[in-house]
Amino acid sequence: MRSLVLLSAAAATVMAGGYAIPESSINATALSAAYVANAHGADAAYYNPAAMVYNDDANLLEVDATYIGLSKIHYATSSGSANIDSKNESFLVPTFHYSSKKLGDNGARLGFSIVAPAGLSKRWTSAPAVYSAEEFTLKTIEINPSIAVPLSDTVSMGVGFRIVRTDGVVKSTAPGPASRDLTGDAIDYGYNLALDYRPLSNVSLAATYRSKIDLNVEGSANLQYGPSTYSGAASVTIPLPAALNLAAAYSFDSGTTVEAVYERTFWSAYKNLDFNYDGTVSAATVAFGTAIPKNYESTNSYRLGLTQKYDQWTAMAGIAYDETPTPEATLGYELPDSDAWIVSLGGRYKIDESWNIGLAGLLDMKQNREVHQSTGSNPINGEFTNARAYLVTAGIEYRF
């Protein structure tokens, strides 16, 4: 259950590090998610709903699909006792965005997005990783309706309501025997806020905030610890951290726009994991249910995006540095995370006044991470290398 909740925790909000997927549209993938102050089009409904008031007076609808490939992660100890790889993983993630035309004379807009903010899978087939992370599978869907209202000619605000569905599966097998087979799901709620200020026609300043959500995961567990077994309900409640984005964009007369984004994710709210197995006390529930300190650290992400418009074409590029929230003492095989550099490219082509298409690619390069732990049931003492993620997003936008 510990691993299930780690994945679930990452699933319910767009955030730096972990299993987050900040790239949920063509523009976001192409710009390494440096897409807040310059958010426009249908996907502004998700990235900065306050910016919807500056869209053309039309209904905008975008449908995208993102291929995500995860490389094998290599783990080796200096003593040579372990030299193993996780499995390759591949996924296809669809997303949807909608921004309405003006609602009456006040210029308010409605928005609606369906995204997969995080998740994916991690599988190991060799010891010692299988002792805690033989299989991790997580599916998330977030539905995010929003509304934008102009406060003046230069200031607008947006408010959104987040509905997140999480499904997870976790399996592990260790000598002893000790094993677990877990499933869990949750539906949880939160909100997001946005403020957009445009003091000049070519300058945009924006702030967005996604609230902390208490994730209540409920499911079932089959546990074995030596002769002791348990089959029944399992549950846990943990805080999901809030995330704040501060962004500035400047557009030149040449059609070039530069955007810088600072993202702060308040992971320090994640102190420990404490599980409940329907009140049952046994060797199995104690072994898998003792409160586990996590002590995550709040993280920073720094993003820079470049957009160039030329006739019917729009070219985009991005670079970002993304910190991990996972301290060395609590890192596990289910989430061997590290700081990362991200680079991306993409573009759009305007077919006519109603249709445009786009394609973008992104490379997420995790830094090698050496870990030395002295406590825990399955301490890690070695180095993780070759962690990479590859994203390709294609889609189409329709104006009507």
Residue 197 pLDDT > 80: yes
Which amino acid does the sequence have at 195?
L
With cut-offs at 50, 70 and 90, classify the pLDDT of residue 119.
low
With cut-offs at 50, 70 and 90, classify the pLDDT of residue 11.
very low
Per-residue pLDDT, averaged over 198-213, amounts to: 95
Residue 9 pLDDT > 90: no
- Are 155 and 197 in contact, with CB atoms under 8 Å apart? yes
Residue 10 has a pLDDT of 35
Average pLDDT, the chain: 89
Residue 220 pLDDT > 80: yes
Instruction: Provide DSSP, 346-379.
Output: EEEEE-SSSEEEEEEEEEEEEPPEEEE--SSSS-
Residue 20 has a pLDDT of 62
What span, in angstroms and rounded, lies between the C-alpha atoms of 316 and 97? 19
- Are 160 and 142 in contact, with CB atoms under 8 Å apart? no
User: Which stretches of the chain are DSSP H helices?
Assistant: 2-11, 26-30, 44-47, 130-133, 283-289
- Are 68 and 75 in contact, with CB atoms under 8 Å apart? no
Q: Collect all residues with Cβ–Cβ distance below 8 Å to 361 and sequence separation of at least 6.
A: 29, 30, 344, 345, 346, 390, 391, 392, 393
Residue 288 pLDDT > 80: yes
Please determine, looking at this structure, whether the domain spanning 2-399 carries the CATH number 2.40.160.60.
yes
Residue 19 pLDDT > 70: no
With cut-offs at 50, 70 and 90, classify the pLDDT of residue 91.
confident
Per-residue pLDDT, averaged over 221-244, amounts to: 88
CA angle 207, 213, 217 (to 5 degrees): 150
Residue 376 has a pLDDT of 75
With cut-offs at 50, 70 and 90, classify the pLDDT of residue 143.
very high
Task: Confirm whether pTM is higher than 0.85.
Answer: yes
pLDDT digit string, tens, across residues 51-85? 999 999 999 999 999 999 989 999 999 888 899 99
Nearest CA to 267 among 3, 17, 34?
Answer: 17
Residue 121 pLDDT > 80: no
Domains in the chain: boundaries: 2-399
Per-residue pLDDT, averaged over 7-11, amounts to: 34
With cut-offs at 50, 70 and 90, classify the pLDDT of residue 276.
confident
Per-residue pLDDT, averaged over 26-30, amounts to: 97
Q: Is 354 buried (19+), middle (13-18) or exposed (0-12) by CB count in 10 A?
A: exposed
Select the more confidently predicted residue: 3 or 34. 34
Residue 12 pLDDT > 50: no
Residue 390 pLDDT > 80: yes
Residue 319 pLDDT > 60: yes
